[in-house]
């Protein structure tokens, strides 16, 4: 694999106050193998032969990039909303470049929300494949430190 989350912790304690809007992370390279795409294309646990990456591949790629960008997935966070915009198909056995950034921070109904934006491109020719955002209920709010 070109990039790997193997060295990144599974979870992180990034505080809300430490996040900077528009701060970019990456690009992180990840291989989209036929095996990965096939395991996410059909019924759970049944590998399917595919020539293009199915939509389920892209949230996995996003989480891998987020883990590398934040030193792990934010511990105690909750996914509130996810939006994906598909721009072009991606053949399997390709490498993608994923850039993530903090798109917005806000407090709604006394809860901290962070929008993480992402851009996934074919690393070989820079074709934009998928863009999107995840709105996350962050485990800490303004003025709070990292969770214990």
60-112 residue pLDDT tens: 999 999 999 988 888 889 999 999 999 999 999 999 999 999 999 999 988 99
The domain in which residue 123 lies consists of 11-137
1 within domain boundaries: no
Residue 110 near residue 80 (C-beta atoms within 8 A): no
The CATH number given to whatever domain includes residue 76 is 3.10.129.10
Residue 19 near residue 78 (C-beta atoms within 8 A): no
| Residue 95 CB neighbour total at 10 angstroms | 15
Closest CA relative to residue 26, chosen from 125, 123, 115, 138: 123
For the chain, the domain total comes to: 1
**What integer best gives the mean pLDDT of the chain?**
89
Reported as type and span, the H/E element at residue 85 is strand 78-86
pLDDT at 1 > cutoff 50: no
41 within domain boundaries: yes
109 within domain boundaries: yes
17 within domain boundaries: yes
148 within domain boundaries: no
Predicted model pTM = 0.86
Closest CA relative to residue 40, chosen from 61, 26, 24: 61
145 within domain boundaries: no
87 within domain boundaries: yes
Which pLDDT band, with edges at 50, 70 and 90, does 12 fall under? confident
């Amino acid at each position: 694999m070109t990039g790997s989350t193997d060295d990144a912790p599974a979870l992180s304690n990034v505080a809300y106050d430490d996040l900077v809007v528009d701060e970019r992370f990456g690009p992180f390279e990840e291989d989209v193998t036929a095996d990965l795409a096939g395991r996410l294309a059909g019924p759970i646990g049944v590998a399917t032969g595919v020539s293009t990456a199915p939509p389920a591949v892209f949230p996995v790629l996003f989480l891998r990039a987020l883990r590398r960008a934040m030193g792990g997935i934010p511990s105690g966070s909750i996914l509130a909303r996810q939006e994906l915009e598909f721009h072009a198909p991606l053949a399997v056995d390709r490498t993608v470049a994923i850039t993530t950034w903090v798109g917005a921070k806000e407090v709604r109904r006394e809860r901290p929300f962070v929008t993480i934006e992402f851009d996934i491109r074919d690393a070989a020719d820079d074709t934009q494949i998928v863009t999107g955002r995840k709105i996350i209920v962050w485990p800490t709010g303004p003025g709070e430190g990292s969770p214990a």
